[in-house]
Structure 1
Amino acid sequence: MSIPVDDVTVPERVRELAGSAALTPVWENGIGGLTFRTDDGRFVKWGPRYLEASMRAEAERMRWASTWTLVPHVQDQGEDRTHEWLVTSAIPGRSAVDPFWIARPEAAVRAVGAALRQLHDALPVAECPWSWGVEDRIANAAERGIVVAGRLHAAPAIDRLVVCHGDACVPNTLLDDAGRGIAHVDLAALGAADRWADIAVASMSTAWNYGPGYEDLLIEAYGVDPDRERLAYYRDLWDAT
């Protein structure tokens, strides 16, 4: 993913959804999806339909998770033959990769690790209707034409089954200016899985966003000791799927 740095052509559907509100592009992903902030307190996501996850799935999961934790309120969701869109209410706070936090990496990493633990503790796995387990992820990859190496079909035993975020990269945590996690976004893959599936990705993503040296700090902030076997496995699975 990358934050847009050049002028972005606003899709017609996004203009319709924004109405009279002014639009500011805030994010672009690797498949051409765009996210815009409106000046009336909303975010509009728009992008091509994609088999790995959908905005319909994201809307369903946010509505479910909102009973137990703070996530964006869904205002609208829809799709046509080629594209989909999602409109949510803005939540006060900054992404953990906002320049404010890029300049304060240690505090940001600690906040993201603690917030991930809070998410796992808050969401009731027994009531979660979705799975993000290894078999389901490999099956989803197969639907997209991706063959996952045989060695990754044998996962380590589950340490603790939780409701995982499904894309726990650090940009998807919102922080207040005091360094507390206040919400999570981009929940299209949310589902039950070993907590290390999230921890592995979250800690790995610190290097992408802040540079080397912060992976174990995030794990410490989460509240566990590093499990090198599970970290390696779930990072490889992430890369493979």
Structure 2
Amino acid sequence: MELLDPALSSLRQEPVTLGLSHARVLRLLDSDSTAVAFAKIVDHSAPPHLADDLEGEAARLKWLSALGIPVAKVLAAGTDITQSWLVTQALPGRPASDPWPTSERAAVVDLLAAAARKLHDQPTNDVLTFDGSIPFLLSEIRERVSAGIVDRAWAAAGKSDTTAASALAELECLAAAIGKGSQSLCHGDFCLPNVLIAPAGIVSFVDVGRASLADPHSDLADMIRSLRSPMNPQFGPAYAEQFLDSYGRDRIDPERLRLHDLLESFFWRAP
């Protein structure tokens, strides 16, 4: 990797195994074993879209940073004949997915809701830099269904009650009935591990490779699934309801949440 700061090259590298990224992730540590930066690396033997995803994440980080959104600074991004990479500055805080003490969990959920509201209310004042609208997602879904990617992903997840093609017909009917909806600045993968909480309630965002202008219900649906997930047993359904209460029920359409749950199922990772 070619790093903008040569001093980073001397840091100790530690693999990060937590998470669902198909990239290799390294934590770069200083002499005190403090994380200074993180590196994502994609070998060119991997599917080509992974390198494109890495390039897209770098562009989104710069876009969000220019808007004043609390994301990591890009320290290096590049490619050579064997691999592509993205190196970002380490941010302070703990992932919201950490095993918080019972006495702190309600406050964590309120911070998540406040962070979502602030992000969604952020004025962008620019053209549609990154499109995450429902029509755009549907066009991607049609391509994935046609290529067989969705059926493979559903088979790997044990979902066999319907085919992707028949589910797509239901999805398109629901999307047409509900409409495009409002567009806001959205994280794109707003789940517990992708939100960092530092002392004094300072919140920042990581893994923003799907950030875009989109229906804010997409972020809300992501967080509700994350809070209810067995992977985060310290939370659960009651905290998901608290999240919706704290965000503001008057801003939420349950049918749009259901739509985005269906949309997301077409983007599960395929083997």
Alignment TM class, shorter chain as reference: 0.7 to 0.9
1:219 to 241, 244, 249: 244
1:235 to 261, 266, 269: 261
2:170 is the alignment partner of 1:151: yes
Q: Quick check: 166-175 or 126-135, which moved more?
A: 126-135
Q: How many residues align?
A: 228
Q: Quick check: 134-143 or 54-63, which moved more?
A: 134-143
Partner in structure 2 of residue 197 of structure 1: 218
**Offset, 1:80:** 5.1
The change in CA–CA distance for 1:31 and 1:72 in structure 2 (over 3 A counts) is closer
1:26 to 12, 16, 24: 16
Partner in structure 2 of residue 165 of structure 1: 187
Quote the Cα distance in structure 1 between the aligned partners of 2:170 and 2:224. 23
Q: Quick check: 32-41 or 180-189, which moved more?
A: 32-41
Deviations 1:40-99 (A, max 9, x none): 411111244563860110110110111221110001122456753210011111111123
Q: Percent identity?
A: 30
Deviations 1:16-53 (A, max 9, x none): 99622112333444464332221141111124456386
Deviations 1:179-212 (A, max 9, x none): x242111111111111111111112211122333
**Offset, 1:102:** 8.2
Partner in structure 2 of residue 3 of structure 1: none
Paired residue type of 2:244: I
Quote the Cα distance in structure 2 between the aligned partners of 1:207 and 1:72. 27
Deviations 1:111-160 (A, max 9, x none): 11211111112251644411111222233334442356112124223443
Q: Quick check: 35-44 or 103-112, which moved more?
A: 103-112
Contact 1:128 1:163 in 2 (8 A): no
The change in CA–CA distance for 1:82 and 1:153 in structure 2 (over 3 A counts) is farther
SS of the residue aligned with 2:199?
coil
Quote the Cα distance in structure 2 between the aligned partners of 1:212 and 1:17. 46
The change in CA–CA distance for 1:34 and 1:105 in structure 2 (over 3 A counts) is farther
Normalising by structure 1, we get a TM-score of 0.81
When the two chains are superposed, the root-mean-square deviation of aligned CA atoms in Å is 2.9
Quote the Cα distance in structure 1 between the aligned partners of 2:60 and 2:143. 21
Quote the Cα distance in structure 2 between the aligned partners of 1:102 and 1:58. 34
Task: Give 1 or 2 for the bigger CA radius of gyration.
Answer: 2
Partner in structure 2 of residue 54 of structure 1: 53
**Offset, 1:172:** 0.8
The change in CA–CA distance for 1:197 and 1:32 in structure 2 (over 3 A counts) is closer
Paired residue type of 2:54: M
Partner in structure 2 of residue 38 of structure 1: 28
Partner in structure 2 of residue 9 of structure 1: none
The change in CA–CA distance for 1:30 and 1:170 in structure 2 (over 3 A counts) is closer
Partner in structure 2 of residue 72 of structure 1: 72
Q: Quick check: 123-132 or 65-74, which moved more?
A: 123-132
**Offset, 1:215:** 1.6
Unaligned runs of 5+ in 1: 1-12
**Offset, 1:228:** 1.6
